[in-house]
Amino acid sequence: MTPPAAFTIVITAVDLLPTGREGIKKDMNPDRTVAALLADYLRQAGVTHVFGYPGESLVDFIEVARLAGPEVVSAVREASAAFMAEGAAMRTGTVGACLSTLGPGSTALLNGVASAQLDRVPLLAVSGQVDSSREQFWTHQLIDHNRLFAPVTKLTARLDAASADTVLRRALRTATAERPGAVHLTVTMDSFGKDTVGDGKVPPLATVGAGLEFFGDEPLRALRRARRPVLLAGAGAVRSGATDVLAQFAAHAGLPVVVGAMAKGVLAEDSPWYAGTLDMAGHQAIWELLASADLIVTAGFDSVELITPWRLPVPVLHVDTVPNTDQVYPAAIEVVGSVATALAWFLANWDDGPRWSEPEVAAHRAALRSAYHAGYAAGRLNPSELVETVRAAAPSGTVVTTDVGSHKIMTGQAWTTLAPRETLITNGLSAMGFGLPAAIGAALSSVPGTPVVCMTGDGGFAMTAHELSVASRLGLGLVVVVFADGGLNRIELHQASVGYPLAATAVDRTDIPLLAESLGCDGVRVESVSSLEKALSGAFGTGRTRPLVIEARIDPAQYSAQF
């Protein structure tokens, strides 16, 4: 079958963002400082908050942002600031922004920048630097930012008065272009205050347009030949806005849809075609489903969404915004462009009847559910029931973030997600310390009053607990659930699996409710489902402006049966 002519052209159609507000236009003038131009670009790119940690090199920017926005939010530590920016960008789909000073500030920022890069999240990170007159020879606190950030960004550049306008447009476009990622800019101390010329007109920033490039009608023929195809949807489908068409195509062609953890909600998880989240708890059941397929059609699936190595001999039809350059799985056929456009094309041309029935997919989900509950210990607070109880209490539209560890594996499977950008998980860098800052960033960039929950292990919580004071200062009524098991469970499981005794993996117990209260939050300890339900009873819909921290003393025994 010949594809419709419109699809044979590669179009780089992009949506223009709104060009700004009246107030911004009023203060626009052709001669202004580099700091003012940066602030203007950020505002016009839709950035409402810049997360950072101050240093002398940043004060010019902090002052212009204080006067005209975006709002500068101080975190407790630079890496947390970058995670906050990443959480905001994950939630909104627009670029996130973070700031550090030179030297120790920039090295501390690195983890969060790397996280955005591997998570394919658009991020603009800016670090101050010594005066340009000393940049080439100074030693005190001087780090070469280009060399530091090059491996963890798409672009590193210097922002100076001579080229600030072009460099800012380049930085924003590079961060948001497929695949999105991090860009780092260095600004020497004497540059922020210098006059420069520019109008702060952002380039088109939408990550995915309507363009589609493909190779004849072979993709459709391959799908028609398949008797048991399965769809594997990922973060590229979210960025392409493919949610509705994915649901329609799955229903029309009768296809089970497995989703990547970073794409949760791209198919509503109450859909009869939902077949689970890959590489989260009970993952064996999902790999068995994929192994039983005779074709896997990826829909914006990204190899960073994998934890387990890809060992399937099943043929793959690769549909994504970018070609299959990773080659983590081989794919003989590629369809490259907007995932939504590609799925719409498959949908419009599918006239071959359903491949699976709803009861077949329901039977698979039942197997997955029982794998998820494996290892349940009666009379204890199990991680599976902790996730299910919090999920049941959280109203629809709740945003959840997870940190990294066994609790992520459980939450990533059982947190029923009905819309994209409501479950925010890092699976690229998978850095501990992400969950709480990301929840703060997500809360600030959501409609006020949106319920936001952070699910974290006690190890990751200890790394970032002081950021609770930021949430408290900002009046964010987050619910932070700490899976308190006294250990770095994912690592303990590995030690056990290779026959080593547990060593260096204990998490020192702290009085988490007391700590929370000292940081301006409410805190409670629970050890059973009933006490958890009681703690959650006032957690949602009561207009709280203080974070609530729940120390959930779980029995981690169940984890060993999960992954």
Ligand X SMILES: Cc1ncc(C[n+]2csc(CCOP(=O)(O)OP(=O)(O)O)c2C)c(N)n1
Question: What does the binding site for ligand X look like in residue numbers (CB under 6 A)?
Answer: 403-407, 430-433, 457-460, 483, 485, 487-491, 507
Distances from the Cα of 344 to the Cα of 15, 191, 274, 305, 339, angstroms = 19, 49, 19, 24, 8
Our CB check for ligand X shows the closer of 242 and 404 to be 404
Alpha carbon distance 146, 150 (integer Å):
6
CB of 523 to ligand X, least distance (A): 18
Burial 133-146 (b: 16+ CB within 10 A, else e): eebeeeeebebebe
Our CB check for ligand X shows the closer of 123 and 432 to be 432
Our CB check for ligand X shows the closer of 208 and 484 to be 484
- 3-state SS, residue 456: strand
Our CB check for ligand X shows the closer of 55 and 433 to be 433
CB of 375 to ligand X, least distance (A): 14
CB of 302 to ligand X, least distance (A): 19
Our CB check for ligand X shows the closer of 100 and 406 to be 406
Burial 415-433 (b: 16+ CB within 10 A, else e): bbbbebbbbbbbbbbbbbb
Q: Roughly what angle, to the nearest 10 degrees, separates helices 78-92 and 104-119?
A: 30
CB of 92 to ligand X, least distance (A): 25
Our CB check for ligand X shows the closer of 241 and 460 to be 460
CB of 489 to ligand X, least distance (A): 3
CB of 154 to ligand X, least distance (A): 22
Our CB check for ligand X shows the closer of 53 and 345 to be 53
CB of 293 to ligand X, least distance (A): 30
**Of the candidates 368, 403, 417, 408, the residue with the CA atom closest to the CA atom of residue 386:** 408
Distances from the Cα of 447 to the Cα of 61, 92, 216, angstroms = 27, 11, 44
Q: Which residue type is seen at 146?
A: N
Q: How many CB atoms lie within 10 A of CB 195?
A: 12
Q: Which residue of the chain is nearest ligand X when measured via CB?
A: 457
Q: Which two tokens stand for residue 150?
A: 């090059």
**Of the candidates 339, 322, 328, the residue with the CA atom closest to the CA atom of residue 179:** 322
Our CB check for ligand X shows the closer of 58 and 463 to be 463
Give the containing element (helix H, strand E) for 63.
helix 59-68
**Of the candidates 238, 244, 213, 349, the residue with the CA atom closest to the CA atom of residue 299:** 238
What sections of 430-481 are H helices per DSSP? 435-444, 458-464, 468-473
CB of 490 to ligand X, least distance (A): 4
Strand pairing category for 195-197 and 31-33: antiparallel
CB of 409 to ligand X, least distance (A): 8
Give the containing element (helix H, strand E) for 455.
strand 452-457
CB of 456 to ligand X, least distance (A): 7
Contacts of residue 55, Cβ cutoff 8 Å, sequence gap at least 6? 100, 101, 102, 105, 128
Our CB check for ligand X shows the closer of 86 and 403 to be 403
Our CB check for ligand X shows the closer of 229 and 487 to be 487
Contacts of residue 26, Cβ cutoff 8 Å, sequence gap at least 6? none
Our CB check for ligand X shows the closer of 254 and 433 to be 433
CB of 553 to ligand X, least distance (A): 13
Q: Which residue type is seen at 16?
A: L
Contacts of residue 502, Cβ cutoff 8 Å, sequence gap at least 6? 487, 492, 495, 496
Q: Which residue type is seen at 305?
A: E
CB of 306 to ligand X, least distance (A): 15
Alpha carbon distance 466, 516 (integer Å):
9
Our CB check for ligand X shows the closer of 34 and 432 to be 432
CB of 493 to ligand X, least distance (A): 8
Our CB check for ligand X shows the closer of 401 and 430 to be 430
Distances from the Cα of 212 to the Cα of 97, 231, 436, 484, 517, angstroms = 30, 19, 38, 48, 53
Strand pairing category for 295-299 and 316-320: parallel
Q: How many CB atoms lie within 10 A of CB 216?
A: 12
